[in-house]
Amino acid sequence: MSKSIARLSEFSSELEELLGETVLLKGEDEELYAELREALKAHLDPQDLFDELDVQDLANNIWEGRRFQKHATELINAERLNAIKKLAASRPGFLSDKMAKRIGVTGDSVPEDAIGQGVYLRELGVSRELVQAKALLLAADDYLILDKLVANRSARRKAAIKDYSNRRRQAAKDTRLAKAKRERAKLANDNRPTLVKTPDLSW
Amino acid sequence: MATEMQIAANRANAKRSTGPKTAAGKQRSSGNAFRHGLSGPLPADALTTAAIEGIARAVVAGADFEPEEAMAFATSELELRRIREVRKDLLMDLAPRELRRLAALDRYERVALTKSRWARRSLAKPAHNQVQAT
């Protein structure tokens, strides 16, 4: 490790205070975030400030990506009830009298406790996939935005990894070149013709 | 086709509504289009300047970097943090319609990220040169 890099590493704790940031929102698991960051650190073995910033960016992007993915899933789950209601309303006779009587459906209103019951869906002839697809359609606008946010995080993650590996490759190349240069200089020094002292023949 | 009288009336009316007259009014209307201020540079207040200088000083003290490069690096990092703070505030109290704003913030962040990446690269360059020299 070069001297400058070593000094930077010593300084990183102070810089971390200045540059460090957390993407955690209220109520999010701090321990899990710290675990993720530590795992990335252990895997990438940051050597300098830039590596540390990349680790931080990676941790933040992974965390945010997961958060938005969760939001997207919850968004679709929240629309399931509406999806079943719409499916029921759009098909006259969709609910048989027997079924309606059994689950207490009147008109197009479906009781919430009936949702999620496989029996109910099977008897209606509605597959879970159809409900999911309808829910996705109902939440499409927001889902697309969340999907874009997740994709952006993924792209940034890739960019940070690319930057990190480019820098590492460059540093390795620099070290290799410096070593070769030193060896060449040493070799040239060893092969340099030296002046042979003329023997003293005065005797 | 408007008559001469109508044209004159329009002109007279237009003269009466050409925006605020007082300094306070002008000041207020100058902020009409202001949304979050993220498209402009960082504010040149004492707090921001001190933060930039603090980061740059720490970076320069940590390794033999050029002060100008360190300042550019510090500025770009702070710009990024400013955007992320706004996003964090937005996420803390997210209304359904604000998802679009969240996506818009991503665009600002992408620009700031590119800037920051360039600043990091140009700051890292002298360090690499130094590696070669040792």
pLDDT, tens digit, 9 for 90 and up, residues A73-119:
988 888 887 887 777 766 655 555 555 555 544 444 555 555 555 55
Is A195 part of a structural domain of the chain? Answer: no
For the entire predicted model, the pTM comes to 0.72
Both A117 and A28 in a single domain? no
The single residue listed with the structure tokens 């704003």 is B101
Both A90 and A108 in a single domain? yes
Across the interface, whether the CB atoms of A5 and B127 are under 8 A apart is answered yes
Is residue A132 pLDDT above 90, yes or no?
Answer: no
Both A19 and A71 in a single domain? yes
CA–chain centroid gap for A182, Å, is 42
Determine the average pLDDT of the residues in A117-124: 59
Both A104 and A133 in a single domain? yes
Range of the domain at A113: 80-138
Both A73 and A43 in a single domain? yes
Helices (H), chain A: 3-19, 30-44, 49-78, 80-90, 97-103, 118-124, 128-138, 140-191
Name every chain A residue with its beta carbon within 8 A of the beta carbon of B123. Answer: 50
Using an 8 Å CB-CB cutoff, list residues of chain B that contact chain A.
Answer: 51, 54-55, 58-59, 61-64, 77, 81, 84, 88, 91-92, 96, 99-100, 102-103, 106, 110, 113, 117, 120, 123-124, 127-128, 130-134
Both A84 and A39 in a single domain? no
Across the interface, whether the CB atoms of B62 and A49 are under 8 A apart is answered yes
Alpha-carbon span A18 to B123, nearest angstrom: 17
Name every chain A residue with its beta carbon within 8 A of the beta carbon of B84. Answer: 21, 23
**Residues B37 and B77 sit within 8 Å (Cβ to Cβ):** no
Alpha-carbon span B91 to B9, nearest angstrom: 51
Both A49 and A65 in a single domain? yes
Both A53 and A16 in a single domain? yes
A117 to A30, A81, A101, B102: CA distances (angstroms): 35, 12, 16, 35
Both A73 and A19 in a single domain? yes
Indicate whether this complex's ipTM tops 0.85.
no
Alpha-carbon span A9 to A17, nearest angstrom: 13
